[in-house]
Structure 1
Amino acid sequence: MLRGYFVLNVRQTFSIIALGILVTATGVGAGDLATAAFTGNKLGTTVLWAVLLGAFLKFVLNEGLMRWQLATKETILEGAINRLGIAVPLVFLPYLLLWSFFVGSALMSACGVTMHAIWPVFSSASQGKIIFGVGHGLLGLILVLLGGFPLFERIMMICIGFMFVCVLATAILICDDWSAVLRGLFIPKIPDTQEIAADSLRWTIALMGGVGGTLTVLCYGYWMREKKRNNPSVLKTCRLDLGFAYFTTAIFGLAMVIIGSTIQVEGTGSKLIVNLADKLTQPLGLVGRWTFLVGAWGAVFSSLLGVWQAVPSIFVDFCNLVQKKYANRAENEANSKKFYYLYLFALTLVPMIGLMYSFKSVQLFYAIIGAMFMPMLALVLLLLNSQSRWVGDLKNRWFTTLALLFVLVAFLSAGYFNLEKKVKPLFTPPTQLSCISTSESRVTYKAIFM
């Protein structure tokens, strides 16, 4: 009887935090892990507080999205298109398409690189990246097509289990100064030593911006619909699972900063993660290397699967809204399914091109649009959730408004630093280009916009 009661309680707990697990698993990818490790390598554990602050900022955004949806039964995309004019769809569609291409390609690449490090069966790393990357993309497609939402939830829980146990265990085993960790958590400070003073603020802001995804924060609203959370009575439940989501997101970020501060490593994105795993062989042995790689694989594959499952729903929502508002066509379930599968296949197949080619000029355009996404989302929440006639008692309180204003400033700063790093090489004489750190640019880019 006691065993049955325990099992029942565990199931009830998981049913409450299930969507939070999906948010964590989707939002934490190779870019987040790499940026946290790279920042830890440059600035040490002094900036651990920035991980906590970044997770809190993403919580504020997602909590605002959730309140809007519970109050109005509309997604935030629907609210923005219906109330803020035609500029919203004109800006959002190109961003969604470019985000899907670059992030889809980056996720497959990260899965390919990580899997090749675990199972190096191909003659070259680039070949392994392409073949394993394509394989992971197709596997994600099959799981979404055949498995449905319950299977999706179970796989994501397994992946986040790998992530949590492996990455956290690595950080605990390798950390040699827990007093410095505690100081970094509770004493906000930005290193200002002569060697890193010029970059310390930029990397601290990048660390805040790199915690927990960007466009993927919109996915939560579509998972709420799957779970039939559609009225204010579930407000506390939603806050609880979002709190769990960003608590675990912060834990991963903290663990990676600690690991990065202990091990000297070079590289970008998923390659940095693999290089880091190789360096862990010396202090932790092959078991430590494999443990970390399995956790990293869980992070990148769960991100891929979450994007494959949820982002087509964003596209469907967009198509239905535009047709309804500007073409006077009612929402059609058959068309919705057609749009969903069309985008799912496109999201899987088209970004495979990015595994073999570089699109630097398009990346710059995407970066310019992407730099504005999080600030614009904060601005939309300030505008929509401040109106009692739309959200009633769920409107922003004064402290929520202050938090959103801080989010707006923080992500505008993050976007500025990223764009400066992307645009500066275009106007720098060739003789000075060697002074610009390409690896830093790529890691910051992946952190803020993926």
Structure 2
Amino acid sequence: MHDIRAIRDDPAAFDHGLARRGIGPTAAGLLLLDERRRALLTEVQTLQARRNEASKAIGQAKAQKDEATAAALMAEVAKIKDRTAALDHESGHAQAELDAALAVLPNLPAADVPEGEDEHGNVEQKRWGTPRAFNFAAKDHADLGPPLGVDFEAGALIAGARFTVLRGHMARLHRALGQFMLDTQTERNGYSETWPPLLVRDEAMYGTDKLPKFAEDSFRTSDGRWLIPTAEVSLTSLVREQILAAGALPMRLTALTACFRSEAGSAGRDTRGFIRQHQFEKVELVTIARPDESETEHERMTRAAEGILEALELPYRRMLLCAGDMGFGARKTYDLEVWLPGQQCYREISSCSNCGDFQGRRMDARFRPEGEKNTAFVHTLNGSGLAVGRTLVAVLENYQEADGSVTVPAVLRPYMAGVERLTPA
């Protein structure tokens, strides 16, 4: 959510930030809504002041037995009461209009975010690892997986497209990846393990900027709750409507959960294979931070995600997203893209974002700086550490052998009861 006072102070800067996102001038319309809202509130305050004066005068008139004056004043107070009620309704409507207009506007990019309209404007910052040279034709995971226990047909039969069943050692490898990631993030990177709800209310989705803009991308239950599209929603909402002590920050949280996405905005993309599913698991990283430490925490979070890829010896690259390709709530984002030899390209496996105070405002999540009376909004950060299904895809493709088997990465073998290779059934 944007601060209307900041827009008032510098509407040109606000429009410039939105222009970098490909959105036309908006400040003038917002300020008209704000001016109307403020005018109504001013009128309400004026009437309330007059009502207080008249109420005192009624008492004085009655004390002096001036019934005519008292009656006139009482009639005036009654009119003020009716008018105030009408104005309260109007101002509430005006506030709702302003909030609705602000709620659909994305966060403004940080100053060091590159210009660009889409992924072509993203800037590669680093590469790690060298893609393996195969002496045979590397297969795509969608072809490699079925003999190893990736059952696309059973998933579709049970639940429809974009659902998959994993069997035997393949299911165990998937579980091993999630546990390895969670153990690493908690034991080595200082994140606190959390087991949050998978169903959340509107307020949690709104506070983490998933509503109203992305309602179609999520699943809603018959009782009005939402299946989380990512544990970011649950974890970040833990500080909603709270005032935190400065000493409690940074707060670093992680969770391994199922996630659910309708993928309404990605029709026709990655329909084959395990890349884009309606149900998947992910280790989510969330940090609640003071404004002065959020950039450092962003780098720290990204390195925590990169460490998983490096431990698995999966080649990857880090991309700094341009203004036009960032997510709605982000002010700066790094994408980690893993090398997939079956597709001969890098594909996103983690997205680590600094949202600044954008979500903090929507959630009314604050902290009190030490020695100060006033509070300030927290900064929130989120990232994948990592998406389990996509990491499974990367392991299959990078560790495949000519006979269709897959070598289990060394760091995962303790989680696999010593199994070193998956062989076709």
TM-score of the two chains, using structure 2 as the length reference: 0.23
More strand by share: 2
More helix by share: 1
Largest Rg, 1 or 2: 2
Structure number with greater CO (CA < 8 Å, separation at least 6) is 1
